[in-house]
C-alpha cells in the first residue's frame, strides 16, 4: 500500500505542476496521461485529440487535462496502475510496457507477426475485444483505441547487414517479445529506459537498439549509430484506456460521440505511422530528398534479404510464439489463435509444445 501511495502522490504532484492542455469550459474534463512528449504519438495524435478534436466533436462539452509521461516524471510502465488508483482517468501507453502484469497483452504486438500495416491492423482489430476484456479484468479499464507507431527496426554502431549479424550483440529492447526475437537471433537483450539508449550505445553498454525510425531520429540516435537494418520487428501498439466505471457511467449518446472521435484518432494514428516510417528511415540515413524532421544523419541503410525473411519466420515460430505461449498459458493461446492468429495466418503452439 505504501508503494501505491507513493506512486499516486508523485504522479498527482507532477500532473499538477506540469504543462497540461485543458478545456476550461468543458462540462467534463478528463485527467489524462499520454506517452512521450518529445515523440510523434503525443505531438501529432494524443495531444491534438484532447486539445482540439474531442472538444470540437462534443461542442466544447468534453475535454482533457493531458500531460505526457515525460513531464509527469514517469517511465510508462506505471500508467495503468495509476489509472487503477484514480490518479488518471485516461491513459495512453504501449501495451509492451504494461504486459509484465498480464502477458496476454503482448498478443496485440508480438514481434514479427506482421511486415506491413494492413496485416498489423487486421491483427489489432481482431484482438481488440480480447484486449478490452484483459484491461477490464486487470485494471478496471476499457480500451477505446489502439494505434501503432512506425515499425520498429534495428540500429547498430557496427555493421549489420542481416539477422545473422545480431549473434553475440547486446541489443536494447523494450518488451519481452522483442527480447525473444533478439535471443532467437543469437543476440543478448539489454533492457533500458528510452532516455538512456544514446549513452548506452556511446559507452558500449548496448551494441544495437530497437525502436521506430522517427523516434530514433528525434532522440538523436543517428549521432551514435552507423547502420540501420530496416527489418520490421514490431509496431509498438499504443492503447487508449479509460476508467471503465467512469466510461460505463456516461450516457449512451456521450459514449457514442466520444467513441466516434476516438475512432477518428485511431485512423489518424495508423495513417501517420505509415506515412512517417520511410521519412524516419530517410532522415536517419540521409537517403531522402528533404528530411522534414531535422538535419539528416548518414547511417548506412540495409534492407532485409530473402535469407533474412526466412530466418525471421523461423525465429517467429521457434522463439517468439513458443515463448509467449509458455508465458501466457493455454486459454490465452486459444483466444489468440481464434482472433489475431486467424488475422495473421499464424498459429501459436500449445504451451510447452
pLDDT, tens digit (0-9, with 9 covering 90-100), for 289-319: 999 999 999 999 999 999 999 999 999 999 9
For residue 138, CA distances in Å to 84, 102, 135 come to 9, 8, 5
Q: Taking 70 as the threshold, does the pLDDT of residue 128 lie above it? A: yes
User: What's the residue count for the chain?
Assistant: 353
Q: How far apart are CA 259 and CA 298, in angstroms?
A: 43
Q: Taking 80 as the threshold, does the pLDDT of residue 12 lie above it? A: no
Whether the Cβ atoms of residue 247 and residue 255 lie closer than 8 Å to each other: yes
pLDDT above 70: percentage of residues in the chain: 93
Q: What confidence score (pLDDT) does residue 353 get? A: 72
Burial 39-57 (b: 16+ CB within 10 A, else e): bbbbbbbbbebbbebbbeb
Q: What confidence score (pLDDT) does residue 4 get? A: 41
pTM above 0.95, yes or no: no
Q: Taking 50 as the threshold, does the pLDDT of residue 11 lie above it? A: no
State whether residue 300 is helix, strand or coil: strand
For the domain 2-150+235-277, what is the CATH superfamily, name and number? Bacterial extracellular solute-binding protein, family 7 (3.40.190.170)
pLDDT, tens digit (0-9, with 9 covering 90-100), for 32-62: 999 999 999 999 999 999 999 999 999 999 9
Two domains, one topology: 2-150+235-277 and 153-234+284-329: yes
Nearest-CA neighbor of 108 among 197, 275, 264, 240?
240
Q: What confidence score (pLDDT) does residue 13 get? A: 42
Instruction: Report the topology of domain 153-234+284-329.
Output: D-Maltodextrin-Binding Protein; domain 2 (3.40.190)
Domain extent listing, the chain: 2-150+235-277, 153-234+284-329
How confident is the prediction for the chain on average, in pLDDT? Answer: 93
Q: Taking 70 as the threshold, does the pLDDT of residue 254 lie above it? A: yes
Paired strand residues for 191: 173
Q: What confidence score (pLDDT) does residue 110 get? A: 98
pLDDT, tens digit (0-9, with 9 covering 90-100), for 189-202: 999 989 899 999 99
Pairing of strands 227-229, 188-191: unpaired
Amino acid at each position: 500500500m505504501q508503494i501505491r501511495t507513493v506512486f499516486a502522490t508523485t504522479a498527482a504532484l507532477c500532473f499538477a505542476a506540469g504543462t497540461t492542455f485543458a478545456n476550461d469550459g468543458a462540462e467534463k474534463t478528463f485527467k489524462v496521461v499520454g506517452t512521450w512528449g518529445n515523440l510523434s504519438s503525443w505531438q501529432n495524435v494524443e495531444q491534438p485529440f484532447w486539445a482540439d478534436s474531442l472538444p470540437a466533436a462534443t461542442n466544447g462539452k468534453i475535454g482533457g487535462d493531458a500531460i505526457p509521461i515525460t513531464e509527469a516524471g514517469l517511465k510508462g510502465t506505471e500508467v495503468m496502475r495509476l489509472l487503477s488508483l484514480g490518479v488518471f482517468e485516461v491513459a495512453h501507453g504501449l501495451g509492451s510496457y504494461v504486459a509484465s502484469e498480464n502477458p496476454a497483452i503482448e498478443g496485440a504486438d508480438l514481434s514479427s507477426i506482421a511486415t506491413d500495416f494492413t496485416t498489423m491492423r487486421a491483427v489489432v482489430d481482431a484482438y481488440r475485444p480480447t484486449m478490452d476484456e484483459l484491461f477490464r479484468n486487470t485494471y478496471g479499464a476499457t480500451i477505446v483505441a489502439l494505434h501503432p507507431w512506425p515499425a520498429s527496426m534495428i540500429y547498430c554502431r557496427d555493421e549489420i547487414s542481416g539477422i545473422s549479424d545480431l549473434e553475440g550483440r547486446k541489443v536494447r529492447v523494450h518488451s519481452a517479445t522483442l527480447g525473444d526475437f533478439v535471443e532467437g537471433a543469437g543476440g543478448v537483450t539489454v533492457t533500458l529506459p528510452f532516455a538512456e539508449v544514446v549513452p548506452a550505445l556511446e559507452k558500449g553498454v548496448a551494441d544495437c537498439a530497437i525502436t521506430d525510425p522517427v523516434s530514433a531520429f528525434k532522440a538523436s540516435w543517428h549521432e551514435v549509430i552507423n547502420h540501420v537494418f530496416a527489418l520490421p520487428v514490431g509496431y509498438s501498439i499504443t492503447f487508449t484506456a479509460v476508467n471503465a466505471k467512469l466510461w460505463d457511467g456516461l450516457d449512451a449518446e456521450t459514449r457514442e460521440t466520444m467513441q466516434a472521435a476516438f475512432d477518428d484518432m485511431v485512423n489518424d494514428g495508423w495513417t501517420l505511422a505509415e506515412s512517417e516510417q520511410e521519412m524516419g528511415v530517410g532522415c536517419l540515413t540521409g537517403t531522402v530528398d528533404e528530411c522534414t524532421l531535422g538535419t539528416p544523419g548518414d547511417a548506412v541503410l540495409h534492407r532485409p534479404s530473402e535469407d533474412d525473411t526466412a530466418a525471421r519466420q523461423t525465429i517467429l515460430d521457434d522463439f517468439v510464439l513458443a515463448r509467449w505461449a509458455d508465458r501466457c498459458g493455454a486459454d490465452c493461446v486459444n483466444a489468440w489463435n481464434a482472433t489475431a492468429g486467424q488475422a495473421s495466418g499464424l498459429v501459436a503452439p500449445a504451451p510447452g509444445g
